[in-house]
Structure 1
């Protein structure tokens, strides 16, 4: 569906240029190709939004896609003076701050549900990087704060362990051992996520399953153990790297 939708937008744009050029050359239409580009270049933004909307992902990604596409539509409406959709973009910041809060709330609400303990760093820091400690399926939230975790010092249960990370206007740094199977996935809005050297940043990015699967002997303490990390960040950053 994504490919069809984005191809339709691009096709309509190119077709329109051709039709306008043809009609202008024969004096049927008093509208130049230059005017077409000047008024409808925001279709590139609409195209970008539709691409984001139809990429594989969750509700948050779809909302971002709709928001980007609407900005493009409003820009076009303003240029061609189509009053029903005209909007003063100088007041865009009046929407941006509430939008940040809405997106942040959705990010927190759509986190992993089957997680045990929840830990919060709100206007503060949380560190677990000294001495041995036990890690279960847990969630960590950094809101205007920071979290540092050294999992090379942690004791993990024998079954699969889930770690849910959320950074809103904050940062989370996680160090993981190399002798452990690790599966990472993450998404960011106006932020960045780095997963075992695989880095992504921008208005909206979504990373699916960065995997690290060491070849361990059956008698290795971490044989059969799996750590699955899910990351979400809004105006923040999450870094997952080897210790």
Structure 2
């Protein structure tokens, strides 16, 4: 999370510095710029920015041993392509027409087929996983920390009592709901990661569970235990006073490209 936050600050800082230099040169009549024309021509850089953020996040998995996060990788490449193509169109450089782009829609089917081939068959699961997989949801459990994802739809955890363990949840377009009020909390530190592209993440905590939360939303809103924030590239960290000394601790690492993040106590 901290690596991603540093990248966000770097891109934002470069954007602000570049804008300041341009306006300074305009004030001294070195160049002549129009704010309206700049926004009209260069707005696709926003897509390029979010595409780079998705690429950095997807490649983080190589460093922590989870492998490349293909969902965010492909989404990042798509944003980069669209942003670059829109920018070339606005600046009257060679670009690809929308009619030609539409011819590539079968690549989505190829991607889905590859995902089905690479995902191992779901084995019979114990009762702690009952009721958590819906029709159309793909599930993969790796050695060590678990990984559960759904490209389109919902991930719901906590309808029945279950043993809490380190896990990463990911949704492409949809929602993640983690109800930990019935969870059996192990001793030590448990890390839950939840991330997505478009949608919402809702976490319901037991009233006395020591918790540390890192939350990042590129575009949308964040609510952590009653404290709300929203807008573009919002990052929030929170830690309960008794976290460091507690025998049972929970770490939440939450991120969403566009949508809503909520952590509440029940």
Deviates more, 1:190-199 or 1:75-84: 75-84
Q: CA deviation at 1:62?
A: 1.9
Counterpart position of 2:254: 231
Tell whether 2:120 aligns with 1:97. Answer: no
Aligned length in residues: 180
Q: Answer with 1 or 2: which has the greater Rg.
A: 1
Counterpart position of 1:204: 233
TM-score (structure 1 length as normaliser): 0.62
Q: Which has the higher contact order (CA 8 A, sep 6+)?
A: 1
Aligned counterpart for 2:146 among listed residues 117, 137, 148: 117
User: 1: distance between equivalents of 2:188 and 2:48?
Assistant: 41
Counterpart position of 1:62: 10
Aligned counterpart for 1:107 among listed residues 37, 47, 57: 57
TM-score (structure 2 length as normaliser): 0.58
User: 2: distance between equivalents of 1:71 and 1:233?
Assistant: 27
The CA deviation string for residues 201-224 of structure 1, in whole angstroms up to 9 with x for no partner, is 22233223332649x9xxxxxx61
Q: CA deviation at 1:242?
A: 0.9
User: 1: distance between equivalents of 2:163 and 2:9?
Assistant: 34
CA contact (8 A) 1:157 1:225 kept: yes
Aligned with 1:71: secondary structure? helix
Counterpart position of 1:189: 218
Counterpart position of 1:132: 161
CA contact (8 A) 1:107 1:232 kept: no
RMSD: 3.0
- The 1:134/1:64 distance shift into structure 2, 3 A limit, reads farther
User: 2: distance between equivalents of 1:157 and 1:167?
Assistant: 26
Question: Where does the alignment leave 5 or more consecutive residues of structure 1 unmatched?
Answer: 1-56, 217-222
Counterpart position of 1:178: 207
Aligned counterpart for 1:152 among listed residues 181, 199, 205: 181
CA contact (8 A) 1:192 1:233 kept: no
